[in-house]
Structure 1
């Protein structure tokens, strides 16, 4: 287990030894605030895009359900005739950046989450650490009413008109300490300045979402005789996301309990050896991991004969989320077309 995974585990357990990292958290907090003030004061340049920008992010490290939320919002906006585009840092991709993301773009080039977003929505999307360059590339090829930034909540170089923060109640805020003593990127007070979406199956606020598990599907479908999904059999769970427990809970919700877990770092670049095990039990994984595993499957089909199943999830938003979005967009002179 690497250092990053050990710290992640300590965060989840709220281990006592994390207090030893408090001096580093103080340095992080001071550096973060200084950088933020440099942008707010105008000493550092802030890019104002020619179309409104909406940032969807979180104040925690690790998964919060942000990507499923973004995908659902994009689908909703597309259905209501809003010309929406998406930008992202393209974490895990090698570039070159900025780059447009197409349905057949390799995950190792543009990043796994951008691939997942475009494959699910076919939305115009550009990636790159320089958000201004990504936006300019996107607008060079598309006429848009709204740009959604996948993450980038703490990217102060990008001006934004709307901010939605996803707060996963299953994970909470941990010990409420900044990195690295805790898993907060910003103080808890940041939640008071943006629209907060509570990610919970038992929400306490009107603005909430939960993940609905879909039907598992087979990633390797070359055979004419496709096997049925047997939830009682043993599975090798291959997972490389920010908060693996959420995926285990999803598996448990459909009755998959006989599992052997193989956890990898978020955005992990899989190799063939990562998917080879002593027995012939099938693999089950997330859609985010599947966009990378699919490439390995295409390259090494002969060595990957075992079944590889994918468990999809979809964000289900409360009515208040859509009502609030419509109101916020009207303030920006972007109107939802009723269908």
Structure 2
């Protein structure tokens, strides 16, 4: 069946190579930011762990006193024009992942389909930035980049190793050449000692709503639950819950799903656990239905990226080379 899609994949590959070549050979104009730009992206369709990695790197850079900012397309927002991401921004305004990044780090951030425009508005409001991290944008060749980090899911690999739509590769393997590759895989023994590795470590589920100490002290012991997901690779989320002892009833929606109350009303007989990314949208939905009991039954599974020392060492080399910070 997939063989039928081979001509489309071939056409997709040719178009991608031609487009990249036009930018590489200055036939199409690139935006050059006045400060270094670091791209963190992937060559596959679906989630690879970029957002937790960015959050971990931003916190690391902030701890070193580096003035870092973040840009993103802001997938799923209703307006494509450049805009700043505020702590109170909503997913409809800026996208779900930017909301999560800013809520987790308070980093200066801007979104926009035009990444150059996002950088301009970001620098207007944060003129002392030393480094910009672009959340995705690996294929946005209109933006000049000084460094490229590509996240590869070591567990999923590259599927059938075919380009989209025959497979889930956005670009061919040789796109990894010249980039720094970060392997998302908890099986460190599969790699050599110098491999750049990350994995996601879960924390205890937390209530979706409420900020006071009494609410945050609540815990959800392992039991049968609905696992609600609107992320690119929900299998990883479901597997994590299984490993924590939960009996999972899977409820998977498409990536960046815009949740409605109808998605939840039949899930009242068991607790619901969702991801941090999905929680951003669910909290906004809860504000529309402030008295609906279903939201009191939703829990969030926080995860954090655990990075190998070699990843931090590579980040330090980037700083020394681009920002003159050791």
TM-score (norm 1): 0.90
Q: 1:260 aligns with which of 237, 244, 249?
A: 249
Alpha-carbon distance between aligned partners in 2 of 1:109 and 1:210, rounded to the nearest angstrom: 30
Residue 334 of structure 1: how far off its partner (Å): 2.9
Alpha-carbon distance between aligned partners in 1 of 2:44 and 2:211, rounded to the nearest angstrom: 40
Change (3 A) 1:21 1:303: same
Provide the secondary structure at the position in 1 that maps to 2:293. coil
- 1:39·1:156 contact (CA, 8 Å) conserved in 2? yes
Change (3 A) 1:278 1:264: closer
Alpha-carbon distance between aligned partners in 1 of 2:214 and 2:36, rounded to the nearest angstrom: 49
Once the two structures are overlaid, the 10-residue window that deviates more, 133-142 or 216-225, is: 216-225
Residue 215 of structure 1: how far off its partner (Å): 1.6
Residue 282 of structure 1: how far off its partner (Å): 1.5
Residue 158 of structure 1: how far off its partner (Å): 0.5
- 1:86·1:124 contact (CA, 8 Å) conserved in 2? yes
Change (3 A) 1:232 1:82: closer
Residue 301 of structure 1: how far off its partner (Å): 2.8
Change (3 A) 1:24 1:229: same
Counterpart position of 1:209: 198
Alpha-carbon distance between aligned partners in 1 of 2:39 and 2:96, rounded to the nearest angstrom: 19
Residue 231 of structure 1: how far off its partner (Å): 3.0
Listed one character per residue, the Cα deviations across residues 107-141 of structure 1 (whole Å, up to 9, x for unaligned) are 11100000000000000000000000000000001
Instruction: Please show how residues 274-289 of structure 1 align to structure 2 within 5 Å.
Output: 274-277=263-266, 279-289=268-278
User: C-alpha root-mean-square deviation of aligned residues, in Å?
Assistant: 1.6
Listed one character per residue, the Cα deviations across residues 244-266 of structure 1 (whole Å, up to 9, x for unaligned) are 0110121122111x222111110
Alpha-carbon distance between aligned partners in 2 of 1:145 and 1:105, rounded to the nearest angstrom: 24
Q: 2:6 aligns with which of 22, 37, 44?
A: 22
Alpha-carbon distance between aligned partners in 2 of 1:212 and 1:161, rounded to the nearest angstrom: 30
Listed one character per residue, the Cα deviations across residues 209-254 of structure 1 (whole Å, up to 9, x for unaligned) are 1111112100123899758433333211110000001101211221
Instruction: Please show how residues 27-38 of structure 1 align to structure 2 within 5 Å.
Output: 27-38=11-22
Counterpart position of 2:27: 43
The answer to whether residue 139 in structure 2 is matched with residue 154 in structure 1 is yes
Alpha-carbon distance between aligned partners in 2 of 1:133 and 1:302, rounded to the nearest angstrom: 40
Aligned pairs, how many?
Answer: 319
TM-score (norm 2): 0.94
- 2:96·2:281 contact (CA, 8 Å) conserved in 1? yes
- 2:222·2:244 contact (CA, 8 Å) conserved in 1? no
Counterpart position of 1:3: none
Alpha-carbon distance between aligned partners in 1 of 2:323 and 2:211, rounded to the nearest angstrom: 48
The answer to whether residue 183 in structure 2 is matched with residue 198 in structure 1 is yes
Instruction: Please show how residues 135-174 of structure 1 align to structure 2 within 5 Å.
Output: 135-142=119-126, 143-174=128-159
The answer to whether residue 277 in structure 2 is matched with residue 293 in structure 1 is no
Listed one character per residue, the Cα deviations across residues 18-63 of structure 1 (whole Å, up to 9, x for unaligned) are 1211010011011111111111121110111000000000000000
Once the two structures are overlaid, the 10-residue window that deviates more, 113-122 or 220-229, is: 220-229
Alpha-carbon distance between aligned partners in 2 of 1:315 and 1:139, rounded to the nearest angstrom: 28
- 1:108·1:269 contact (CA, 8 Å) conserved in 2? no
Counterpart position of 2:53: 69
Note the residue ranges of structure 2 that are not aligned, 5 or more in a row: none
Alpha-carbon distance between aligned partners in 2 of 1:114 and 1:152, rounded to the nearest angstrom: 14
- 1:297·1:304 contact (CA, 8 Å) conserved in 2? no
Alpha-carbon distance between aligned partners in 2 of 1:224 and 1:100, rounded to the nearest angstrom: 31
Alpha-carbon distance between aligned partners in 1 of 2:202 and 2:213, rounded to the nearest angstrom: 26
